Amino acid sequence: MIRILSISFSICLWLVLSGCKEPVQKPELESFVVKNVIHPNNNPYNKDKVELGKLLYFDKRLSLKGDTNCAICHGVEIQNSATAPRNQIHKSSAPSLTNVALYRDVFNDPQANDLEDIVQERVHTAVMLKDEKTIVARLNQVREYRELFEKSFGSPGITMERIVKAISAFERTIVSKNSKFDRYVMGEESALSPSQKRGLDVFMNKAKCSQCHKGPNFSDSERHTTGLKGITQTVRTPSLRDVSKKSEFMHNGEFTKLEDVVSHFVNGGSQGSIEDPLLKPASISEEEKRDLIEFLKSLEGESLPFEMPKIPKA
């Protein structure tokens, strides 16, 4: 009995000295945490389909001229690979596909109900140049692709619909999660530095960033003005996940430094830009601005780069 009490006392003493505490979650912030991505019933997840989609995503044979692929415009983090070239199709910085499955309406396209609708339109128009018959026939000439399509869908046949479903299934796996912020919300108090905690407070309150940047993707999926002079179009709120990894910011690549973007919005946009009730100058100090930037860095998810797939030979 004495031995048991001695062991119990030792354990309690160790817990006290080590500062060990039960993780305290922050329910008021849980709506910002990335959880499971749901695959739709008409395109359920399976590993073979995802792997097929990854091959198609990087295969230039999907383009009519054989000179481009999805990754050239919408780059993903690849092991031992340089940054993907600047978008050549849309003449601007293409939207990141990181966490694309978490956007409420994908690309805010009124004609699209799901990710598959967007992939169908983009691939058919911008990559295949509306000649799906030639592309399907080209893929049918590759024995490995014929086998992969049958394995992925349970029956033989390469069709446009199956190409779209495979690419969409792969894109839903491009997820940034388990960031320092996520771990902090789920109870790991030390995941954020003191500066980042102060920056979170600035983000939620003084700077009012969360008016537009909210939810697990830090985006309301709505279109807003950019505060850029001479720009009249509205742009969907971009995700802030992995924002510190970016080298270009704004829809047109206007800024190349995160600090400049923060200053732009803290100042309420550029002089002479279209007014927006949500875009007002924020009264924050330079130290608070630095804290805010540090918080944004905490949204960088785990580095899980894809390995460049080995494209099937004809």
pLDDT-based confidence at residue 95 (cuts at 50, 70, 90): low
- In sequence order, the 6+-apart residues with CB closer than 8 A to the CB of 66 are 60
**Binding site annotation covers 212?**
yes
Sequence length of the chain is 314
Per-residue confidence (pLDDT) for residue 227, from 0 to 100: 94
Is 241:301 a contact under the CB 8 Å cutoff? yes
Task: Tell me what the mean pLDDT of segment 60-72 comes to.
Answer: 87
Compute the distance between CA of residue 170 and CA of residue 54 in angstroms, rounded to an integer.
6
CB 148 within 8 A of CB 125: no
Q: Binding site annotation covers 74? A: yes
pLDDT at 302 (0 to 100): 83
First and final CA of the chain: distance in angstroms? 75
DSSP 116-164: HHHHHHHIIIIISTT-HHHHHHHHHT-HHHHHHHHHHHSS----HHHHH
State the fold for domain 180-298.
Cytochrome Bc1 Complex; Chain D, domain 2 (1.10.760)
Please give the CATH superfamily to which domain 47-172 belongs: Cytochrome c-like domain (1.10.760.10)
Chain segment 199-255, per-residue pLDDT in tens = 999 999 999 999 999 988 898 888 899 999 999 889 889 889 999 988 889 988 899
- Phi/psi of residue 39, nearest 5 degrees: -90, 135
Distance in angstroms (rounded) separating the CA atoms of residues 133 and 159 = 9
pLDDT tens track for 147-199: 999 999 999 999 999 999 999 999 988 888 889 999 999 999 999 999 999 99
Q: Check if the beta carbon of residue 197 is closer than 8 Å to that of residue 82.
A: no
Q: Please determine whether the domains at 47-172 and 180-298 fall in the same fold group of CATH.
A: yes
* pLDDT reported for residue 76: 58
Average pLDDT over residues 82-91: 34
Element (H, E) at 235: strand 235-236
pTM for this entry? 0.75
Averaged pLDDT score across all residues of the chain: 82
Q: Is-contact 308 57, C-beta < 8 A?
A: no
Structure confidence at residue 73 (pLDDT): 75
Give the pLDDT score at 43. 92
70 appears as a binding residue in the annotation: yes
Q: What residue segments make up the domains of the chain, in order of their start?
A: 47-172, 180-298
Given this model, what pLDDT does residue 108 score?
44
Is 73 annotated as contributing to ligand binding?
Answer: yes
